[in-house]
Structure 1
Amino acid sequence: MTLSDGARVLALRCEPKVNGLARHMSRESFEQLPGYAGLPDDVKDLEIAATVRHGVRLFLRRVTEPHPGPGGLRLFRERAAQRAEEGMPLHLLLRSHALGVYVLWQLLRETAEPGEEGALIELVDLLLRSHHSLVGAVAETYMDERSALEAEQRERRRSLIRGFLDGTLEPGRALLEQLGLDGPALVLAVVLEPSADAGAEPGDADQGGAEPGGPEPGNAVTIRRRMRRIQTVLDQGFGAELLFLFDAGAGRAVVPRGCEPPGDLAERLTRACGAEVRIAAVPAATPEAVPEASRTAVEILRVARTCGLPPGLHVLDDVLLEFHLSRPGPSSHRIAALLDPVAGRPELLRTLRTHLAQHQDRRLTAALLGLHPNTVDNRLAKLTELTGLDPSSPRGAALAIAALLLRDTAAGPDGASAAG
């Protein structure tokens, strides 16, 4: 857009007033904005005044240079990033720019002489058309900087929580103050069941996805969304923002003050994410006991799943014997080796695991495995023949449970499922 000679003359008459206008804006006009009065004087007199001078001169330059070169908005972007880092609210930053446009319009109006109404309209038109580019650049840079800062803060907090839960960070006073812990706590471990349909969101049954009980499709976005919903339910259930850490469908959380979990917590979690959820709760008498409680909670989940307990809320008493039997010791390798003769017979291991989980009910075991009860009997007889373990006797059942748990412990999470 080419401006008239009259508009250029009016703009030139405003040039000598730029410094005074910058002082006026930074010290008087902006004082009416909420929160501005509390800014340091050097920020007002140096940074904000310099930005005003740059902006006004950039506008006046556009009168004679309709197509200025790149870089005119660089200072505004730099200042927006700086204000974001300092924590200035975005609304205050944008209000200052909007008010700056109004004060500049006042300067143009006061400088215009009779007969220059047309020139004044041209300059105001240019001012309003160029303002949206400035505001867009400022808002975009501010939001980008805030996102980057918040991502850094989240990652720093995650690292602190991870180190605290894993026991790699000493729970000193400074760390505990940052995490908001000063007494007893409740440690939670939570995991999405692998049989859950992780490929569909709640209400998306018609969209297809994994078959129930089938392999998990590994939709990372869906899993993250579900874990965030779990975090929201936990925060609401305990009435506080918990220290929550999750990775790939499994998470750990610390509840300050050691609150008891709501009785329907597992049901709430399942409803929220549309998948079965298993959760373990272990109290920690002091912050220093949290890492051990975290390891215990994770182990409770593994033992509960291995023993065939249905998804839900578990505590140590639910798996007390099995937890004890799964602890490594001098005899562990010999007990685990009792099942070596059937290591290549996954159908026998699966039948044994299901049979023990169903309290040695042959008909229920058969129904769950899709077999005839006689087939269950034949498989268990074959297992007894090969291993010498008789799961129908109390001692044989205890040894079989211990062997399964110890083999799972040695194999790790993946080995547990592979073993049937």
Structure 2
Amino acid sequence: MTGSGELPDMLTAHCPRLDTAIGEALRGHPAYQPIRRAAGPMFGGRGATCARLLALVLAGDPLPGEDLARFRDLGVLAARQAIPLPVLSEVWDLALAAAARSCWSVAPAASFAEMADLTARAARLAGRAREACIQGYAEAPREGGTSRPLRRLLAETLIDGAPADVIADAAGVRLAPAYLVLVCEAPARTSAAHWQRVSERLDACDGVLYSGDLGGLAVLFPAADPLRAEDAAAEFTAGLAACTRGPVHAATSLLGGLADIPAALEEASQVLTVVKAIPDAEDRPYRADELLVELAILGQPDIRCRLAAVLSPLDAGTDLRRTLEVLLACNLDRERAARELWIHRRTLHYRLDRIRDLSGIDPSSARGIQLFRAALTSARLTSLERDGGHDGGADGGADGGADGGGTDGGGGAGDDRAGGQAEHASFPPPLSA
């Protein structure tokens, strides 16, 4: 075992390297320099801050009131510099993780129990400092008008998984025991006026919190009554689609209490990725249990390769993939699909027969259309991944031109034009979240 005072002496001597480790972990982070400029005058630089906080941990002392005030002021300055709270939290976590790794790297094996106790002390001290920082961040909007509204800040805090009581009190919001998380994206052509109307509506909803904009919006609906929360999310999505003239992609998740909000956001975001890929998506929120097959495809690269092989024979024809996409978007209504494609219904039948002949799969059968739907979804997922989440419409328009065989009496350019309209109705180019 180490002798009395040996580990504290080692850590004190290690302090300069601890300072270096934290600096290396934070170097290059976009928020580091503004935070460093704000913290320097208050704490005397990173090295002095490391030495002071390490001394408090080793002595087992709590943070003095003057230090808590400094951390509060740091939060105020971060808010006034418009540093988002999740980014501030990320910097905080990076610094703490780097400090812990650095200290543990020099601790002798015989001192692990003592080191664990010191780590627990440091966590408690850091938690108190972080709470003071968040309190300052929350109070900044009332002291100066430059930071974001408190309700948006509260939503970001819950989404980040950070303590939210201080901000909720400052915002005058009584936190619900649980929240339904809705994520949605509106078409790229929506204007600032659309967003103003939507945000005003959200601000008027009692207890509803939100973050983002129409390019990637996260809304938290109080879910003491889950069914009521689902109805509210569906009503909001329908209103958003009507306001922006849609289509709108949306997904929801409700996993438990406040601590489960980050996981719910992750699940809803994954579902949203699939919703943007399915060819028959509606203007409503989808839940994970509605898209289990598609979510399974998302995580199976081998299956997705095999599904790609299902579609590859269709490249021998023209407009065949797009025909399937529009047919699915029209809920298999052939008359409507023909109108959307601006072709005669006989031409639609010809194309479906051509698809069957080329692929060996009958799109008129239940099994066949399900397989094609899965294949188109998989191809769409691949396109979204390649474009970084942006829907470029690459899949739908790959087969443009007149129909093979010359049976399309009015096809050609008209088919391309109307088909493009049908594709636009089914696959808007969503913004990345």
- Rg (Cα) greater in structure: 1
Give TM-score scaled by structure 2 length: 0.47
